[in-house]
Amino acid sequence: MKLIYLGTAAAEGVPAVFCNCPVCTEARRLKGKNLRTRAQVVFDGELSIDFPPDAYVHAALHDFDLSGIRYLLVTHSHMDHFYASDFVLRGGVYAHEMTSPTLEIFANAEVLEIYAEQTRREQQKEVKDAIRLHTIHPFERFSFGDYTVLSLAACHSSREPMLYYIEKDGKRVLHLHDSGPLPESTWQALGGLEGRLDLINFDCTFVHRETYAGARHMGLDENMRTFDRLAAMGLADERTKKVITHFSHNSYPTEEALLRAEREYGVIAAYDGMTLEI
């Protein structure tokens, strides 16, 4: 399974949209890996987790074929994870020779309300008909193509936020953002899984900053506590890749800080356009 991390920032991006703090000013000056767009990760070119406002830029910058996405799993309704207006342009005169004529979107009811609102004025019938919508909730197991998914509950500040366990061809991935410390209900559901995880995507919004009580995101401290509990359950070991992503400018995600995280915690710090094979 091949993963591409197309966007690796928190909601406001790095540099943040309207920010002139030292981190954002430096990121604008240095460019390259220091520029981080809103979160999107794609499996084998066909399954995307989230569809941010920067998906268009991802396609242009990384020569990525957005029309190849057949399945879209949305974590939650925050604007950095779901930007539906672009789906007006998925077909008709706006898109020729699409790799996958159809798209299936799996999301909670609030996300699908946003989809309806953002597309209702301009989406033509043929475009609308090629997109199938599925309402899902936490703790549902469902399949599409070669994938099996278990939706999990997140601890986050939107309605019914979800995390995902994804299995394909014997490979297992746990996608854990956006979320603070995982809810006990999610730990219970994880207890029903078998086999070692090949990769975990961690919410690392806070990077080296402490994950405070009641937080709706995590830092490296909570990432490690989560990993240790998964390891104690037999779901993770030293071969499990630990990817950190969704960095905020408020947490100083400089190259130096992330190299230190890699050294000290054995994690892989994602950057825009990074690919990984598992």
In the complex, the residues that contact Zn ion under the rule CB under 5 A are: 16, 19, 21, 24, 78, 80, 178, 249
> Residue 9 CB, nearest distance to Zn ion (Å)?
9
User: Which residue type, as a one-letter code, is found at position 269?
Assistant: A
The residue (of 21 and 60) whose beta carbon lies closer to Zn ion is: 21
The residue (of 16 and 173) whose beta carbon lies closer to Zn ion is: 16
> Residue 134 CB, nearest distance to Zn ion (Å)?
21
E runs forming strands in the chain: 2-7, 40-43, 47-49, 71-73, 103-107, 131-135, 141-144, 147-153, 162-168, 171-176, 199-203, 241-245, 268-269, 274-277
E runs forming strands in 12-128: 40-43, 47-49, 71-73, 103-107
The residue (of 91 and 253) whose beta carbon lies closer to Zn ion is: 253
> Residue 31 CB, nearest distance to Zn ion (Å)?
15
> Residue 159 CB, nearest distance to Zn ion (Å)?
11
Q: Are 130 and 91 in contact (CB under 8 A)?
A: yes
What the block records as the tokens of 88 is 């007006």
The residue (of 44 and 113) whose beta carbon lies closer to Zn ion is: 113
Helix (H, G, I), strand (E, B) or coil at 98: coil
- Kindly report the number of other CB atoms within 10 A of residue 241's CB atom: 18
The residue (of 90 and 156) whose beta carbon lies closer to Zn ion is: 156
> Residue 97 CB, nearest distance to Zn ion (Å)?
32
> Residue 80 CB, nearest distance to Zn ion (Å)?
5
The residue (of 90 and 246) whose beta carbon lies closer to Zn ion is: 246
Contact partners, residue 265, CB within 8 Å, separation at least 6:
220, 223, 224, 242
> Residue 98 CB, nearest distance to Zn ion (Å)?
28
Q: Which of 200, 218, 210 is nearest to 155 (CA)?
A: 218
26 vs 4: CA distance, rounded Å: 25
Q: Are 73 and 48 in contact (CB under 8 A)?
A: yes
155 vs 161: CA distance, rounded Å: 7
Kindly report the backbone phi and psi dihedral angles of residue 115, in degrees, each rounded to the nearest multiple of 5, phi listed first.
-55, -50
The residue (of 216 and 229) whose beta carbon lies closer to Zn ion is: 216
